């Protein structure tokens, strides 16, 4: 069975410092992995996705994530946080064999001035 775990429910960083949002997954199949961002009272926007091509995936707004099969991880990083990055971030695993798209419980990122 597939599952995804976001290891931190809240993360606070200072503006200009690196961001690390952690995600571990479990999947019986070759997974597809996604990161979505949700700004307050908004819908979900795709940041990036991994579908078995390059293990380092670059997304929008300077975010990137690295797929590590040995660690079953897909952590999201950004070298320098901006105030506009404050939002909730969801790690999602998609089963390539079925319709399923499993969401993590989310990590709320706070950026301090």
Partner 1 sequence: NAGVTQTPKFQVLKTGQSMTLQCAQDMNHEYMSWYRQDPGMGLRLIHYSVGAGITDQGEVPNGYNVSRSTTEDFPLRLLSAAPSQTSVYFCASRIGQRGRETQYFGPGTRLLVL
Shortest Å distance, C-beta 57 to partner 1: 13
**61/78 Cα distance (integer angstroms):** 9
Q: Does 16 bind partner 1 (CB under 8 A)?
A: no
In the complex with partner 1, the residue whose CB is nearer, 70 or 98, is 98
* Total site size for partner 1, rule CB under 8 A: 26
Helices first, then strands: H and E counts in the chain: 0, 12
Shortest Å distance, C-beta 79 to partner 1: 25
Restricting to residues 23-62, which ones interact with partner 1 according to CB under 8 A? 31-32, 34, 36, 42-46, 49, 51
Taking phi first (over 0 means left), then psi (-120 to 50 degrees means alpha), and beta for anything else, what does residue 85 get? alpha
Please spell the DSSP secondary structure of 17-71, one letter per residue.
S-EEE-EEEE-SS-EEEEEEEE-TT--EEEEEEESSS-SEEE-GGG-EEEEETTT
Shortest Å distance, C-beta 34 to partner 1: 7
Q: Which residues bind partner 1 (CB under 8 A)?
A: 9, 31-32, 34, 36, 42-46, 49, 51, 90, 93-101, 103-106
């Amino acid at each position: 069975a597939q599952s995804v775990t976001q290891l931190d429910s809240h993360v606070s960083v200072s503006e200009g410092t690196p961001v690390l949002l952690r995600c571990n997954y479990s999947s019986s199949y070759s997974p597809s992995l996604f990161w979505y961002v949700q700004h307050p009272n908004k819908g979900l926007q795709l940041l990036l996705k991994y579908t078995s091509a390059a293990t380092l995936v670059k997304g929008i707004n300077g975010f990137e994530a690295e797929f590590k099969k040995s660690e079953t991880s897909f952590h999201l990083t950004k070298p320098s946080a901006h105030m506009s990055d404050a939002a909730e971030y969801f790690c999602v695993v998609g089963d390539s064999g079925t319709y399923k798209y499993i969401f993590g419980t989310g990590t709320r990122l706070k950026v301090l001035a």
